[in-house]
Structure 1
């Protein structure tokens, strides 16, 4: 315990100074933000006031105490020196008791085993617990190296300083905990997957987290500049209409003072995109309970809205489809104890209201014919997630009976059956046709079984064969029983089904079709046609198949013969070219010698001889021209240039330049409109148009020739063509001669009237034929002629170079 033995010089002053120090430390403890500096200052102050040699503050950490602060101890010991948290040391002893521990002579005190403290030899000291006794933070103490007796006020002073330290440490703990909580809250807010905003009482935005920035597509500073009702938000409701100010979340919460949950609206982002948000909000109240703002939790539900929109769209489409179907569409729970949906067709077939079915799902069963009801009920009960397919009779309230084919399938959700969807067809007419067919089949059976070189079959509206027969089945080794009951898509390969199914359905619609197919390595010609009863109504379709393998083989041989003829024609053309080429040399010799004879013996020849020689030379020249024309004709296909884009404007300029002398001599007026680009052989096209314009000038009659060249675009099938016309006002031709003028060496006028070889228009036709086009003429005598040539347009993606 403390002793009062102390020099009396400072007995009166010491308690006052100690109280002042405690008060000063208490004031600083309330103001400090630096605990370490404060602890150091407190230790220094106590050391100074008590004139001690050292002062320590130990922090309890499990089974030991660590030196946190020390005055009068080596610096390297602070933070590292430890003592056991037991009764062996004064520090440990103090931690385990609630009273200050005062030691006059540490070495002589039997309570402790150790007489050293943090590397120093000390003799006397006071130690007190810092913090609540049930959970102390540590131990604070002062020590002297000389033996000293401490007064009661000294002990009180140290304990009071320990209490001040305890308060400062606890304040620091609270501040740290609040800071950590605040930091955690800020991190939670900033990293929240939900946008968080705060709007002040004045309606101005005060805070927005990162997620809010992402949702609104705006930086935080920009968001904070906007009020809740700023036009930039362009906020609309789920109906797409702009929200009135009083319907916005903020005024609703301010007005009601109550939280708001899941108000969905759409706001406009700066990039023009509309984002849909779900807003939850609550009022923020001050200490008086007054609303000072509103906090909002905002979730981006654009994807959800899109899913809902697609779902509504799908539901709308389903209802639009189902409501207009003639088939009965129904949907029930897996247990079939609740009808979820049935379309209006139910009322047409069952002649009962849908409301009755919604109230009693078994109502449709009650309407089923008694002979069929148990079978249908057992089938429904035994479905258990599988398919359901039944035909039964429905007895309507007026006693009439309708046949129904009812099929259903389960719809799964997360691996479990969620609902059953079914469709019921009124097959009364089909049943009637089946009965009619059964009654009519016998009439066709003899034909089917003995149909020569082919096969015949009847099929119903499901495209299922009902009877079949014929010699072709026997030849192919097919039993009629194999076919009967099979549908088209079950019987034939998919590729073949895609070709013949439309023909089968066409027969049931009253159409007749034929198609050639390959089946069982045979070529078959298949006819499909409707079969009518005595009332003229179609009750089935008929298939008639004939084996045309031999016919196709004959046609193939004919095509080979045609190919051979074409090859022969090509050889003939080559022969004509060779003959024409070989005739040129002797013809030149004849012409040359006649000319030589005329020059050398001109004085000896009389007028008749010179006339005869002139006739012979003229004939040789005309023969040469005909041979040249024949050579050109034979070279059209063999020596033509590859096709390329051709500017007809440029071609016609060259043609008119070549004919410039004839045009001037005949005082001809040749006009050429803007002409297109075509795809062809430039040199051959130039030759063809030169022949046509030269003919127009030649056959102009007594008047100066007037020739016009025009063009127009024409679509012919899948390809595009240009029709180029050469029109004149000449003598014209008889319509019956329109084809003759294109025949080789065929002339309508004598050489005296109009000289020529008779091959020019033949060359034109051959050139146009090579281009895949046509040439024709429209003319009347005295009215002129119009020659029209069709030429291919330049194909797309053609290299124009």
Structure 2
């Protein structure tokens, strides 16, 4: 930056040199005048010595209030004083004079020639006035140089502002955010390159349009933007925009008013950040959260989650159904208290309350009902492998546990049931091969072998039939219309042929009654019921078979009832009656596999019917097979 400098570099003043400056002033550290030049004395006839410089002069430059340190720091700057008595301007520089004094080296400075007439002149001082006019002209020239310096400074400031403006324009042009500048009325004046790339609209297609209309929002959005602009307030919203090619994208829009020094809006600047990826991620996250929440609520397994502070944060309905707990019991409880609450629902015996597996614990709960639950715990982590909480997983394995128990009992029973006839068959055939027996003995042994082989065959057939029914779900059934009396008569004959040898009381002559059935499968079911009645009742008691009807589900159903007067069943036996491998008699004195009634139930359900059982312990039972009656 150019600075004003005088034409002459003035040396440090000496007494002889000060004679060249008739208007010089020397002051001490308190700015008290100690000496003045003879030119100044001719202007001011009053006594100058001992007075403060501010009493004689108006200090025009420098503008700071004079003190010794300020004066010395301004040695390179022009000093400008106005003589109060005459109004004459004196200009020059300040320099150090000895150690404790400062010298003002001054000459007249003419700002306006009209000022000359204000100077009082005496005839003998005309030459002096001419010299003052010369010095005033020189001082005025220096003043113009000061003004020129100020002009240069203003020009430099303006250049700096223009450079900053170009830099900001370059930055805005390079950003990935769309930038729009509108005038004070809200009409677009400029858009950056990012807006053109994202929207597809050229600057000439949007300049002059209203800012609210350009945002592609609905009428309410456009009206809201217009209202905010009229109120000279900022606006923020997330909007779905449409590009020129028809594609849609989301923007986070900010519109800010720009105010001048008088508080008036001179421009609006709108910045639209593309948030399509963020919106897509949010929608995906929201959709996945909805799916996970639905899965969480609909899952038959129980879930309980704890945050990273170990406080319960959520649970699903399945867990409440398993444990019978109420939501208010679980609200924001710590994890250790939750574990104690679980233990209170389990059996008192700790050895039977929990069974440890490699990755889980099996809990045997007694509340709200007898339930076996597999309990697993996992730590949850985010994508950066940071711990975010704990998940407790509960699965009801009561049925699996019961099935495991029944399978164990079945294997034990099946081994016994298979081993008994096989031992008899093996033993008697070995005797017949190694020893000689008379005809009656041989016949008796062969009868035993035959009876045991029939028993073994029935056990295997029951297992195979049950497996087939489960695998095919009735696909192998050949269901046709049959007279009910033909089905019952055939079942009674097979029951007698099978070696049971027990008379059954039956009296029914309605040969017109028909049902739809698989002939062989229905006979198999009826024979199983008759066989159970025979095995679980004394030989001297009566077994009765009869037919009756009932209305149900707007249809007429026919029931084939088998009544015995045997040992009957308790309520506990009735609860497990149709479970596979379950037997009411666990002594082993009555042969059987525990599959008979289970097989009967499967056959009747495939026929569209059902099985009813009523029993009184110690008095007997009635088993009824229900089938839909065919219309005549």
TM-score (structure 2 length as normaliser): 0.29
TM-score (structure 1 length as normaliser): 0.24
